Copies of this chain bind each other. A is one copy, B any other.
């Protein structure tokens, strides 16, 4: 997120709205009225307007003839976004395989080994270790713009309970994917690491696609 500036009122409003949308507190298709939001957040319409425009640029809300509405994604758009994510993070994995120090690869491997111990029911650890694994790989690619683009694409998955509904088999399959990725990275095989990551991401999002309502 290329955050615009410091802790102005406007930025506070923007962040509040962004979180409200991403967490699903504001439902897709929900209509947004400047004056209502202004009253609710106890500011004037000016910072509200500025925030809404930025949210629209970011694709979180869409213009209506009058006002704005929280964006609703079609399943087609969901798939398209998954492809973007797979393309970006797959490429990041290739770069990471080329550029990571041995220490970084050992660290990623350690995160993976740690995750193998996590039980499905331990939701927090499950989500955290997964995030750590992906974050460590992305960071090892050493490309800030690429990192930004990847995290930005994640914003589009709001209102999808990505983490909640994983079964035992799904977690096993995910860990097997991770194993394939880290194995290729250790062998410094960028092409395999990349395609393994792509497939992992497309598989994972396919699982969650059915919850995109």
Residues of A within 8 A of B (CB): 2, 4-6, 10, 46, 49-50, 53-54, 56-59, 63, 77, 80-81, 83-84, 86-88, 90-92, 95, 143-146, 149, 153, 156
Q: How many copies does the complex hold?
A: 2
Closest residue of B by beta carbon distance from A81: B145
Min C-beta distance of A143 to chain B, whole Å: 5
Contacts of A53 in B (CB 8 A): 4, 10, 50, 53-54
Min C-beta distance of A18 to chain B, whole Å: 11
20 pairs of residues in contact across A and B, judged by CB atoms under 8 Å: A4-B56, A4-B57, A4-B63, A5-B56, A5-B63, A6-B63, A10-B53, A49-B50, A50-B53, A53-B53, A54-B54, A83-B143, A83-B146, A84-B88, A84-B143, A84-B146, A86-B91, A87-B92, A145-B156, A149-B149
Min C-beta distance of A192 to chain B, whole Å: 12
